[in-house]
Amino acid sequence: MIWVTNAKKTSGMYEIQVEFNNGMKGVIDFKKILADDHRQIVRELLCENAFNSFTVENDTICWKNGVDFCPDFLYNMMLKHKQVA
């Protein structure tokens, strides 16, 4: 089972560096994820201030408006984009 242990904003507009419990860490670019999702609550995160309001809670990244993503999804996105540190 994988979970998020830490996350911090990078200099990229929709990028977050994420660390997982297995020691892997990398950058996830959320721009396409947010733009392709047609749910209004997710699209709210295209606003930079809303996007930057994330915290790490319940073993994943959570935003103030209630959006979160499964840690496995985040891990796979990190690996898919090969931005592993």
pLDDT digits (tens, 9 = 90+) for 22-60: 999 999 999 999 999 999 999 999 999 999 999 999 999
Looking at every residue in the chain, the average pLDDT score rounds to 94
Coil/strand/helix, residue 79 = helix
Global confidence as pTM: 0.90
Query: What integer pLDDT is reported at residue 82 of this predicted model?
Result: 66
Domains, the chain: 4-80 (3.30.2020.10)
User: Which residue bears the tokens 């959320």?
Assistant: 30
Helices (H), the chain: 31-36, 40-43, 48-51, 71-80
Residue 80 is predicted with a pLDDT of 84
Which of 80, 81, 59 has the alpha carbon at shortest distance from 69?
Answer: 59
Q: Indicate the pLDDT class of residue 83, thresholds 50, 70 and 90.
A: low
